Copies of this chain bind each other. A is one copy, B any other.
């Protein structure tokens, strides 16, 4: 393979149809940011919106803002915007709570829909909070009604037996970056009468998702990663319209009531996707997410995917070109259809490498026990950034800088 040069990367940037999007973000000047899969960077419009929500909507319009500034419509409005990015037709996505809480809602619905089945089947190594939420439900309902079964990814199909109520999948693995074929798995699950819940934490805003086409039953996902909604931004929940009439989610708070302001003592669920609302939404955080989503208004998920694949391909090629980096072992699949928008390298000193990179302004992250993880966000990452990052990484290894004692001390990691 012809070695990749800085000039070639500069040329990619010049040809990049998404290059102009970077200017819509406020980024730290001296950093290269590979952690948009943990916390997306700040779109400048988000700051403007936050100021308006506090300075005008809250402080001046006060309680009337629920109507005059449409706070009451935010969960639905933000849900609609996210829906467009994940292939969901109108009225099937709502913004609320956290991913974990939303997962509890859809898990409960799915189990209640399948009273004779008890197993929640998932892939081994799924994101811990997904596993924990099932474990919590088991503790509440007992093992006779909810059991978590984890199997290696290649064994999922075989494990879809008649006692499986739900197949719970995360589309892109948070460690390895492996991308599952949700359409295929959904079809197989449905053939066995199994409902499908997909966690889109590492896919929404990163790659094309087609929930309606794939006939997924329920999905949840995160507002603060590739959607750039700000730290701890509210999450989202998708429920296919065909299920809306018969489902009952147990976190039935007043915002999910058909007529919340009638203050009636009996819960009557809303007909639509609003039935998944629980308490009063975090308006400030949700408004920031609402504004942040504007950066997606003039780009397609296909464009984002193409650049994402270009960035990860080039980065790995640059790593391979550096003899010093031979010890970095890629655990992300090389086939484009099998990888998300991140690269994960195993290395015995991954923690120290990550700390040394951060010290030099290359913000990557570490996942225990030995993974250096880099997220690639096509809206604000440039091809030339990859060159610089790999140069720094190589220098850290060659100079043995990462062996400094300050990088060996394991501190609280996020």
Residues of B within 8 A of A278 (CB): 98, 100-101
Tell whether A356 is near chain B: CB-to-CB under 8 Å. Answer: no
- A110-135 residues at the B interface, CB under 8 angstroms: 112, 124-125, 127-129, 131-133, 135
- A72-129 residues at the B interface, CB under 8 angstroms: 72, 97-101, 104, 108, 112, 124-125, 127-129
Tell whether A383 is near chain B: CB-to-CB under 8 Å. Answer: no
Interface residue from B65, B248, B253, B263 paired with A100 (Cβ < 8 Å): B253
Interface flags for A23-37 (1: CB within 8 Å of B; 0: not) read 000111001010100
Q: When the two chains form their complex, are residues A232 and B283 in contact, meaning their CB atoms are under 8 A apart?
A: yes
With CB as the reference atom, state the residue of chain B lying closest to A27: B59
Q: How far is the CA of A58 from the CA of B230 in the complex (A)?
A: 7
Q: With contacts A140-B140, A257-B132 known, is A63 near B101, CB below 8 A?
A: no
Residues of B within 8 A of A255 (CB): 100
Task: Enumerate chain A interface residues (CB-CB to B < 8 A).
Answer: 26-28, 31, 33, 35, 38-39, 41-42, 46-47, 50-51, 53-55, 57-67, 71-72, 97-101, 104, 108, 112, 124-125, 127-129, 131-133, 135-137, 139-141, 150, 175, 222, 224, 230-235, 248-257, 261-267, 278-286, 288, 358, 363, 365, 367-368, 411-414
Q: When the two chains form their complex, are residues A414 and B279 in contact, meaning their CB atoms are under 8 A apart?
A: no
Q: When the two chains form their complex, are residues B139 and A141 in contact, meaning their CB atoms are under 8 A apart?
A: no
Q: When the two chains form their complex, are residues B136 and A251 in contact, meaning their CB atoms are under 8 A apart?
A: yes
Q: When the two chains form their complex, are residues B66 and A252 in contact, meaning their CB atoms are under 8 A apart?
A: no
Residues of B within 8 A of A139 (CB): 112, 248, 250, 252
List, sorted by A's number, 16 A–B pairs whose CB atoms are closer than 8 Å. Answer: A26-B59, A28-B60, A63-B414, A72-B414, A97-B97, A97-B98, A100-B255, A127-B254, A128-B257, A131-B265, A133-B253, A136-B248, A175-B263, A232-B280, A261-B412, A263-B368
Q: When the two chains form their complex, are residues B283 and A63 in contact, meaning their CB atoms are under 8 A apart?
A: no
Q: How far is the CA of A67 from the CA of B67 in the complex (A)?
A: 37
Residues of B within 8 A of A267 (CB): 128, 131-132, 135-136
Residues of B within 8 A of A58 (CB): 39, 42, 230-231
Residues of B within 8 A of A97 (CB): 97-98, 101, 279
Q: How far is the CA of A38 from the CA of B66 in the complex (A)?
A: 11
Q: When the two chains form their complex, are residues B101 and A231 in contact, meaning their CB atoms are under 8 A apart?
A: no
**Distance from A328 Cβ to chain B, minimum over Cβ atoms (Å):** 21
